[in-house]
Structure 1
Amino acid sequence: MKSKSLFSMLMFSQIKFYLSLCFLLFIGTKTFAQSPELTVKGDDAEKVRMSQLKVNVKVVGNIAYTTSEMHFFNSGTRQMEAELIFPLPENVSVSRYAIDINGKLREAVPVNKNKGKQVFEAIEHRRVDPGLLEKVDGNNFKTRIYPLMPNGERIVVIGYEEELSAFDKDNLVYQLLSRYPKKLDQFEINVSVLGASAEPAVNGDSEKEIVFSKWNQSFNASIKKENYQPSEKIVFKIPVQQNVPSVVTQNVGGQYYFYGNTFVEGNKMFKKSPASIGLIWDNSLSCKNRDLKKELDLLDAYFQKIKNTKVTLYFLNYTFEKQKEFVISNGNWAELKSILQNTKYDGGTRFSQISFENQDEFLFFSDGLSSLSENLLPKTKKPVYAITSSVSADFAFLNFSSMKTGGNLINLNQINAETALDKLTNVNLKFLGIKENLTLTDLFPMEGTSVSGNFSFSGISLNPKNEITLLFGYGNDVVLERKITLDAATQNTTDINVEKLWAQKKIANLELEYAKNADEIELLGKKFGIVTKNTSLIVLETVRDYIMYDILPPAELRADFDLIKKQDQDRALAQQKNNWGSIESYFKGINAWWKNNVTTSPAALAKYKKQKANETIKGDPDAVLTIDEPVGSAPAMSVVEEDNAVYNAPKIEEIKDKKVASEEVVYVGYARMTTNSSQIIARDGDVQQKLQGRVAGVAVDTRNETVSSLNYSVTDTLTFDSKNKDKIWNPDRLYLKALASAPKEKQYDLYFELRKSQERNPSFYFDVAHFFYNQGDVKKALQVISNIADLGLENHQLYKTLTYTLRQWKDYDDAVFTAKQVAKWRAHEPQSLRDYALALEDAGKYQAAFDELVKSLEVNYYGEMSGQYEGVEDIILMDINRLMSEHPGLKTGKLDKKYLEKMPVDIRIIMNWNQMDVDLDLHVIEPTGEECYYSHKNTEIGGRFSKDFTQGYGPEQYLVRNAVKGKYQIKTNYFGESTLTENGPATVMLEIYTTKAGKVSRTLKTIQLGKVKENETLAEIVW
């Protein structure tokens, strides 16, 4: 019998947990999400909470260094896992990350993002606790907290530095918004302000509680509370010397890095009021929770200012649709405002759909996150004003888009209403560079940057003394100059890492064109320990882990690291593998099987069927306790081999519980469970082994032949119609029943009502999308299913689900994009590259598909992950073989000629799934009654089974060269998911290839499974 991996068994017994922790910290007027939101699946949700928060802030000049130390406590009896996802303001990145290892904080070190992900996942399977902090889409960061032991605590430290914005020419401002849903055992804030010209002022309710005291050259204040629930905003105004540019320098190897800031206020130049405006309103799901009031207030102020104009409204989500034209007269925009207030937010985002018509200017309200297409620069010569109130946004893209068109980025989290209106109504002052100075280099920000009040700059001087003349103006005309004097002798500082500030400014500039500058960004990120799109921060448990994976450890471990390396020169690095190394052995196996050319005569087939029918079960008659049909059995489906077979709607059938002796009966393999006894009776030893680890919380006691601690229930039923129609997940959900009973014209509105309690549930969108698809409303189905892309940032498992569905529904262009994203995020996974190759094939890009399949065999992964990736060669070889046969003329130079030998088969079945930590098994019952699966890989009629995957995504494959007439049943055993994020149930994709008269037909099926299941019928093929 098959035994599950220790990892899967342990993880399966845990409660699934998802924590999205967002900190809302306003620095200057910048917003950093800092109010924690805790979401826990399971009965022990209330047991996990943040118990302590300690924030330390040091302000030097206009730079604030913030460190948040967060303590998470699990008062429950189960081991838990958490994920933190939090956004940071524009141009700010995490530069410190630490977690506690064996009770002591350990600092993280920089690593290539892809390598960090591989190392983290490899070590994770040893059940130890590495830490990884990554930057994901937009300016969002995520990390994992694991394990949270019963009655235990974990500590996470996040640090970053950023520039304070000017409140006015006399003051900088620091605001802290701390709102928490539960009380904290301890809450502490310590603030130190160095070099302020006077004592900082405190506004708000804390004015009497917070008192700054002067000590040496700094002003200090602190708050300490116990059993406290922060719920107020604290505002510090920090005085600065008027009209005196602040400059600091740092000597690094004879190069003088400098950082300065100055207040720039030029004469306002009013722009001509636009006669026509294109208002592009992003109403995708990710924009649902943005600050609508701030955006409408800005529009109201703008229309009152310009009075008369014409506005054309466009909605942007999965589609881009022109809504209506509105005439604004004397500032009256009530009709347009009403529509925006009542806009429904639905679907993913495709910026590629935007079409810029002939308007005088465009107002683009969005978070800048395009979940279903590349972020494309606007194709217009008219100014685009990118306006965002979303804390989680791609500020770099929005800023670059507006800058390139002559508009402005208006970040409503960062600027007040007056400044925002000024950016819309006036031609903004721009930074035009500096007067020629050959002894200055690498000056940032870039030319063309808008200037509004406080302006900071950084660069490198080749001389210890120098003079910079900053130029500002409109268009190409300089209207203002500002001279800055550099003197390393008087401006040198030990309080600020000027070189690192320069690096952050350079990275922010380079990320405006990330694809072009990726390599340089990675080098800077690694050098300075800054998290970027391709640089992460990692914490490993032992010194030997750092040595094995060739990662330089933090300072505290360097002595041990160097000593071990010196004493153990021959210590091997972690083994790097790829599938190409074993491709020949897999090819020989398939080729030998194919050349064996098993055929079954009708007489032999009849004899075999008769023999199977006469077989009887030997031994104890109580070994198999089957009394009736299994609960939830479903009618079968025939798959007719047609070109491009299209599936239609299944019928929704209600599951009827079956009762035996007043007990609800569920059959699990060869055992019976009764709900009132909470036991599984299993006298046969094989049955006990079969049950072991198959059901959540089940432990087999062989002494009294019972299985206790039961946690199992009747789950979903899969249904088919009788004419080879679309097989979907039929979970008998109440929301589907509600939709089915509603009038057709009201179903979409009802969907929004039902969504209120299901918004983060991927299965809800999967179900509802299939509901609309089966009614023939493909457009609405695609709109609904696309929401899955907006449920998680760089969530490859959700994107796999989406890719499977898009391929099945023949939305090939979108499937290529989603598959490409997964291949980019998971470049070390051959399965993800295979998915991308098949999507390319769907889209008619056959050569690219072939090249990607070959590439999937070449990717390197660590040997500890062999269980996840090794064995996919079997499937990829047949993909390559089929692709070459169907599309002759491909350039196959990368392959040895021996692999070009054609090996056509009558039936090929592949089962893929989207989650790594689940165990699914493909079973094919042939017309003879013989079952082909992981422990019986070769059958009498020539059926062949590939490697059994107990870890990873599979896939698993069944082949038969000479199919016999009859019915082939496709089944699966599903042993539950152990992943601890909101990815929903496992999604399965079946690929069914049949060949007749040399012509290949393909059928794709996307199926979502519920909980633990055995012997689940997915489809049948009639040959």
Structure 2
Amino acid sequence: MGKFLSIFILTFGLLLGTHVQAQNPENITICWDVSLSMQNRDLDKDFYFLDTYFKTVQNAKVTVLTFSDQILSKYDFTVSAGSWTDIKEKLQGFSYDGATSYASLGNYVTGGTVFLFTDGKQNLGTSTPNFGGKLFIVNSSKNFDRGSLNLLSIMNNGDVVNFMEKKEMDESIDPIEEYSGTILSGTAGLSNAEVYIQGNEEGKVKSDDKGGFRIDGKPGDTLIAVYGNKMEKQVLGDSKTMNFSLGDGGVQLQEVVVSERKAEPEEKINTAYGEENKDAVGYAVQSITEDDIPDAASTVNMAVQGKFSGVNLGINEDLSQVKMRPRNTILGNVYGLIVVDGVPLRQSGSHSGVVYSTDFVNPENIADITVLKGLAATNKYGSLGANGVLLITTKTATYAKQTGEKKDLARLTDNIYEEKIKVNAKTLVTPYLKELKGGKNIREAYDIYLVQRAKYQNEPSYFLDVSNFFYGTSPEIALRILSNVLENEDTDYGTLRSLYLRSVEIKNHDMALLAANRMFEVFPNKIQSYMDVAMAQEQLGNYQEALNMYNGMLTGDANPQLNFRGMEKVVGTEVRNLVNTHRAQLDISKVNPKYHNNLTYNARLVLDWNQPDAEFSVQFVNPQKRFFTWEHTEVGDRKRILDELENGNSTEQFEIVGSDTKGEWILNVTYDGNRTPANTSATFLKCTVEYNFGKPNQRKEEFLVRLQEVGEEVQLAKFSVD
């Protein structure tokens, strides 16, 4: 330690000089951080600090508090004649687990002298407790949060003793040892700065024409820039480029994302005379495409229900008895005309009672639906169109038009569900879970975990699986283990989103917000991060914060560099529901008026998953035991997969509407593995069922499954719609 320790002893002696003459025992509290990140602390340095102190203050009453995600233990000791052996033995015996929170420390400290031994890496919130006494903050870990340590010191008028931070550039920690990165100092004129890329041997620094510098690497690389006694660290995002410049205060880093803005295509709509440019049509036309049709629609009735203003289905919500406002007849037939691929269907009669079925139309085969009223309807169809026309264009017609081939897709076939319900009765088996089952009780199992952790902790699903193992018998231990996901600064996106989904499922919304905020911070180019932050804020009752984020996604202001259009439907539904549920508590002046009115469904389903790389299919079985399948596969929906990989959205919405949707529903999932063979991470799939959506009695239920084995078939959810 040499010169540095000599300075430390002199400084420490001056700080403690007032205690030398003290006759009464000193009241001391030692707050000892036992979170996972502290397991590599330098105990010799911590003990050197305490030994120096107790040589100066001979008599003391000492309370030792251990903490990680919460206060874990409290021990009282008496120090006489400078002997603190019992305290040292106790401090040597602690195990390290969990993330870090300072939230409760202030409640256990009542004054006196306080020693807070921590690295400052508080990842469970941003608490800055008031200790009410003289505070010394001591760090002996190589990786620490300087800002957090300084803030704690400022808020308590305390002192920081940081064994790992030296004052001069030539005495600083060797970045080669700390970051094992490529040295780029001296490149492009950086004579007074050093730049490193963690784990990337091909990074290059280039100067630009404006006196700045650019570094190229790969997504996920960590850039460390050192200038004078300043150091900045930032993760390189999907842009693969980071710009930075040297200023008087140090190195300024700013990530720049460049994306090509594509011209918006002209919007086409169907009319009685074929496709026309929307702007060229001289009358109002309502139209929806296949993207607007609920994936849960098992009949054509469900495909139309609630999609058009002034359009109502008949008895039992039958499309063949559709009525459109305004109607041009009082005594005659009031039913509208239905036209499929240009062919008018026989009209049902409102007075004769004759009903012609439309059940033969497969909702999965619908390309678009257009409603024509008034002059737009009678131009071609005359009196038949007097009560309005519903134009249905099928994918069959579109396919034939494009290829010249005819493909019979019009009718539903072979979709009667006759299988037994797939219940996931299999118990997850992994080597580490086998070991844990060898424990005779919860204490033994936890001790096994503390030993095995060093071997398995880098496996993406380890902490989630082990947390789930303990959750039924000890939720406190389970949550501590789960919080370790936040302790790892290099946790990948899939694992962080798994933490978010698991936290939502167990209704730990504080943890969910922490996971969402970490994703937002580390992966700002994934639009799902913005959605998850908003959802977590909403669940915590922070409705205005949630609305602001949702609305920012709709307007693009949340990040002008990103394309949020792929989530417009889901986000728009959330905004409508939030505005109409908590309108009195919200400022909605910046929300587009089209989102001020709510939508109502018998139920709304939302699927969330953690792995963009995962391929799976979900089978929906309706109360009539008819099923349809939604695929998250490259073959089944390549467009959806490409959009997800580009923009990072992993949420899908399904609406259940209509009287024939009431009853029992089953959702089964088949797992096809990851597209990337080297990716062995597990997939977590969550289904949220929101019953009576948009109504005063709205409620929700959540289901979560873990998928690992290729070909695995399990039941995702089973529920009843009233």
Shorter-chain TM-score above 0.5 = yes
Where does residue 594 of structure 1 map in the other structure? 306
Q: Which residue identity is paired with 1:874?
A: K
> Measured at CA, do residues 965 and 763 of structure 1 come closer, stay the same or move farther in structure 2, by a change above 3 Å?
same
1:370 aligns with 122
Secondary structure of the equivalent of 2:698?
strand
Partner of 1:954: 650
Taking a change above 3 Å as real, the CA distance of residues 861 and 408 of structure 1, as seen in their structure-2 partners, is closer
CA distance in structure 2 between the partners assigned to 1:281 and 1:553 by the alignment: 40
1:830 and 2:511 equivalent?
no
The alignment partner of 1:956 has SS state of: strand
2:455 match: secondary structure:
coil
Q: Tell me, yes or no, if the aligned pair for 1:372 and 1:818 is still in contact at 8 Å.
A: no
Aligned partner of 2:411 in structure 1 is none
1:411 alignment counterpart: 162
Change (3 A) 1:272 1:875: same
Asked if the contact 2:111/2:132 (under 8 Å) is kept, the reply is: no
Task: Give, as a single letter, the amino acid of the residue that structure 2 aligns with 1:298.
Answer: F
Q: Give CA deviations for 1:707-738 in whole Å, capped at 9, x if unaligned.
A: xxxxxxxxxx99558xxxxxxx9413354455
Is 1:882 equivalent to 2:577 in the alignment? yes
Q: Quick one: distance in 2 between partners of 1:891 and 1:601?
A: 40
Instruction: Report if the CA contact (8 A) 1:766-1:785 is conserved.
Output: yes
The two structures have a TM-score, normalised by structure 1, of 0.44
Q: Which amino acid aligns with 1:871?
A: G
- Which SS does the other structure have where 1:757 is aligned? helix
Whether the 8 Å contact between 1:311 and 1:326 is mirrored in structure 2 is yes
Report the equivalent of 2:274. Answer: none
Q: What does residue 326 of structure 2 align with?
A: none
Report the secondary structure of 1:839's partner residue.
helix
Contact 2:466 2:481 in 1 (8 A): yes
What's 2:458 paired with?
A: 760
- Corresponding residue to 1:285 among 28, 36, 40: 36
Inter-CA distance 533–912: structure 2 relative to 1 (3 Å threshold): farther
Equivalent position to 1:913, from 609, 625, 629: 609
User: How do 1:374-773 residues align onto structure 2 when only pairs under 5 Å count?
Assistant: 374=126, 376-380=127-131, 382-402=133-153, 405-413=156-164, 530=225, 574-576=259-261, 594-595=306-307, 730-733=427-430, 735-737=432-434, 739-740=436-437, 742-773=440-471
Give distance in 2, aligned partners of 1:387 and 1:349: 15
Distance 1:1014 1:539 in 2: 32
Q: Which residue of 2 aligns with 1:808?
A: 505
Report 1:147-166 matches (<5 A): none
Find the residue that maps to 1:349 and give its secondary structure: coil
| SS of corresponding position for 1:1006 | strand
Q: TM (normalized to structure 2)?
A: 0.61
- Match of 1:355, SS? helix
8 Å Cα contact 2:65-2:73 kept in structure 1:
yes
- Alpha-carbon contact 2:552-2:558 (below 8 Å) kept: no
Partner Cα distance (2:484, 2:472) in 1: 18
CA distance in 1, matches of 2:582, 2:54: 59
Q: State the 1:330 CA deviation.
A: 1.7
Residue in 2 aligned with 1:931? Answer: 627
Write the distance in 1 (CA, Å) between the matches of 2:687 and 2:555. Answer: 25
1:327-381: CA deviations, max 9, x gaps?
111222222222211101111111233216223222111111112212x444245
Q: Distance in 1 between matches of 2:696 and 2:69?
A: 39
Shift of 1:850: 1.9
**Greater relative contact order structure (CA < 8 Å, 6+ sep):** 1
Instruction: Return the offset for 1:863.
Output: 11
- 1:872 matched residue in structure 2: 567
Deviation, 1:409, is 2.5
Q: C-alpha offsets along residues 917-940 of structure 1, whole Å, 9 cap, x if unaligned?
A: 33344432323344334479xxxx
Asked if residue 894 in structure 1 is aligned to residue 590 in structure 2, the reply is yes
1:313 and 1:578 map into 2 onto residues whose CA distance is 65
Distance across 2 between alignment mates of 1:265 and 1:303: 16
Secondary structure, aligned partner of 2:624: coil
Superposition map of 1:19-168 within 5 A: none
Q: Return the offset for 1:906.
A: 1.3
Matched-pair contact (CA < 8 Å) for 2:424–2:715: no
CA contact (8 A) 1:598 1:961 kept: no
1:813-839, CA deviations, whole angstroms, 9 ceiling, x for partnerless residues? 332233233223334433211111111
Which residue is equivalent to 1:845?
542
* SS of aligned partner of 2:533: helix
Instruction: State the SS of the aligned residue for 1:352.
Output: coil
**1:202-226: CA deviation from partner (whole Å, max 9, x where unpaired):** xxxxxxxxxxxxxxxxxxxxxxxxx
Residues 576 and 862, structure 1, Cα contact 8 Å, conserved in 2: no
**1:272 maps onto 2:24 in alignment:** no
Pair 794,739 (structure 1): closer, same or farther in 2 beyond 3 Å: closer
Q: 1:789 aligns with which of 448, 462, 486?
A: 486
What is the CA RMSD across the aligned residues, in angstroms? 5.0
Q: Secondary structure at the match of 1:801?
A: helix
The offset of 1:393, in angstroms, is 1.0
User: 1:341 is matched with which residue?
Assistant: 92
Tell me, in whole angstroms, the C-alpha distance in 2 between the residues paired with 1:977 and 1:861.
31
User: In the alignment, which residue of structure 2 is the partner of 1:1018?
Assistant: 716
SS of aligned partner of 1:848: helix
Q: Is this contact kept in 2: 1:384–1:401, CA < 8 A?
A: no
Q: Is the 8 A contact 1:283 1:315 kept in 2?
A: yes
Q: Secondary structure in 2 aligned to 1:281?
A: strand
C-alpha distance in 2, partners of 1:745/1:552? 51
Larger mean Cα displacement after TM superposition, 749-758 or 364-373: 749-758
Equivalent residue, structure 1, for 2:110: 358
Of Structure 1 and Structure 2, the greater strand share is in 1
Aligned equivalents of 1:363, 1:863: Cα separation in 2: 46
Preserved contact between residue 989 and residue 1007 of structure 1 (Cα < 8 Å): yes
Higher percent of residues as helix: 2
DSSP 3-state at the match of 1:919: strand
* Partner of residue 74, structure 1: none
In structure 2, do the counterparts of structure 1 residues 413 and 534 end up closer, same or farther at CA, with 3 Å as the change threshold? Answer: closer
Distance 1:276 1:908, change over 3 A: same
Distance across 2 between alignment mates of 1:935 and 1:719:
20
Measure, in 1, the Cα distance between the counterparts of 2:145 and 2:263. 35
Q: 2:422 touches 2:713 (CA, 8 Å); kept in 1?
A: no
Distance change >3 Å, CA 395–CA 843, structure 1 → 2: same
Aligned-partner SS, 1:871: helix
- What displacement does 1:394 show? 1.1
Superimposed CA distance per residue, residues 887-919 of structure 1 (whole angstroms, 9 cap, x where no aligned partner): 343332223322333221112211112233333
> Partners in 1 of 2:134 and 2:306 — Cα distance?
63
Structure-2 change in CA distance of 1:835 and 1:168 (3 Å): closer
Match of 1:1002 among 690, 700, 704: 700
Q: 1:718 to 1:979 in 2, by over 3 A?
A: farther
Distance 2:12 2:18 in 1: 18
Query: 1:616-673 deviations in whole A, cap 9, x for unaligned?
Result: xxxxxxxxxxxxxxxxxxxxxxxxxxxxxxxxxxxxxxxxxxxxxxxxxxxxxxxxxx
1:964 to 2:661 alignment? yes
Please give the alpha-carbon distance, in whole angstroms, between the structure 1 residues aligned to 2:503 and 2:69: 13
Q: Residue 456 of structure 2: SS of its match in structure 1?
A: coil
Tell me the distance in 2 between the aligned counterparts of 1:901 and 1:540. Answer: 38
- Among candidates 306, 309, 327, match of residue 78 of structure 2: 327
For residues 669-715 of structure 1, the C-alpha deviation after alignment (integer angstroms, 9 at most, x for no partner) is xxxxxxxxxxxxxxxxxxxxxxxxxxxxxxxxxxxxxxxxxxxxxxx
Q: CA deviation at 1:599?
A: 8.5
The residue aligned with 2:371 is none
Q: Deviations over 1:448-507 (max 9, x none)?
A: xxx99x999xxxxxxxxxxxxxxxxxxxxxxxxxxxxxxxxxxxxx99x99957x99xxx
Give, in angstroms, the shift of residue 744 of structure 1.
4.2
Identity %: 22
Shift of 1:784: 1.7
Unmatched tracts of structure 2, length 5 or more? 20-24, 173-185, 196-209, 216-223, 247-256, 268-286, 295-302, 320-356, 361-420, 633-638
Contact 1:913 1:953 in 2 (8 A): no
